[in-house]
Structure 1
Amino acid sequence: MKAIAVLLVTICSFSVSRAQCDVEVREAFGGVSSITVYNTYITIGAIADAYVNEVYNANRVKELMGEQASMLQSVIDMLSKCQVAKSNGLSEDDVQYIKELIACLQSLKGEAQGLSDFAVSGSEDAQNRYNQNRDKAWTQISALLGLGE
């Protein structure tokens, strides 16, 4: 009987620890994703400033924005696989957060592509795409980080 009691306590302790770990992992994921979108937004803006101030030429901006767009797409692809609630242990709220995060990452990618196109072509259309995606990304980042609350 003692062996069964010890086994049950051990199993229950493991379940509580795992549930606590799941919460901690979700909180860590939220923190890392928040830092990622914010820092990506700042990075793209800093590179735009460097271009306008002739620190970087068009080829360097194109190269850097290509790297940003590629990394963003990789993360979008990874996150897209995580959008099914329950089958992978995610709640509906978790899935909604992932969808909002993906939308934000897509806006950041559009911002990076707009800046790259603007640096190469100087077109007003590219500049408008950069500005529109930048504004949209900031609105999404603010919502994800709870800055408007």
Structure 2
Amino acid sequence: MKLVAVLLFTFFGFSTVKAQCDADVREAFGGVASITIYNTYLTIGAIADAHVNAVYDADRVKELMGEQTAMLQSVIDMLEKCKVAKSNGLSADDVEYVKDLIACLQSLKKEAQGLSDYVIDQNADAQTRYNTNRDKAWDQIKALMGLE
């Protein structure tokens, strides 16, 4: 009987630890996601400023924005696999967060693509895409991070 009690205690004790670990992992994921979207937003803006101030030429901006869009697409592809609540421990709220995060990353990607296109020929359409997606990304970042 003592063995059964020890096994039950051990099982439920580890379940509590696992549940806490899952919560810690979700919290850490949210923190990493927040840093990623905020820093990506700043990076794209800083590179745009560097171009305007003749620190980076158009080719360098295109190269850097190509790196940004490739990294953003990789993360989007990874997150797409997490959009369905199933036995992986994600709640419906977690899934909604992932969907909102993907939408923000897509806006950042479009912002980077707009900048990349704009630096080549100062096309007004590209500038509009850059500005529109920059504003949209900032609104999404504020919502995801709970900023005002």
TM-score, with structure 2 as normaliser: 0.99
Query: What is the rounded CA distance, in whole Å, between the counterparts of 1:8 and 1:88 in structure 2?
Result: 23
Quote the residue 1:145 is aligned against.
145
Quote the residue 2:22 is aligned against.
22
Contact map agreement 2:22 2:89 (CA 8 A) in 1: no
Quote the residue 1:48 is aligned against.
48
What is the root-mean-square deviation of aligned Cα atoms in Å? 0.6
Matches within 5 A, 1:3-18: 3-18=3-18
Query: What is the rounded CA distance, in whole Å, between the counterparts of 2:58 and 2:106 in structure 1?
Result: 22
Quote the residue 2:106 is aligned against.
106
Query: What is the rounded CA distance, in whole Å, between the counterparts of 2:87 and 2:9 in structure 1?
Result: 28
Identity of aligned residues (%): 73
Contiguous gaps of at least 5 residues in structure 2:
none
Residue identity in the other structure for 1:137: A
Residue identity in the other structure for 2:70: S
Please tell me whether residue 85 in structure 1 is matched to residue 85 in structure 2: yes
Shift of 1:89: 2.0
TM-score, with structure 1 as normaliser: 0.98
Query: What is the rounded CA distance, in whole Å, between the counterparts of 2:120 and 2:91 in structure 1?
Result: 44
Contact map agreement 2:79 2:102 (CA 8 A) in 1: yes
Please tell me whether residue 31 in structure 1 is matched to residue 34 in structure 2: no
Query: What is the rounded CA distance, in whole Å, between the counterparts of 2:2 and 2:85 in structure 1?
Result: 39
Shift of 1:87: 3.6
Shift of 1:88: 2.3
Partner of 2:12, secondary structure, is: helix
Query: What is the rounded CA distance, in whole Å, between the counterparts of 1:121 and 1:93 in structure 2?
Result: 43
Query: What is the rounded CA distance, in whole Å, between the counterparts of 2:77 and 2:111 in structure 1?
Result: 18
Contact map agreement 2:58 2:120 (CA 8 A) in 1: yes
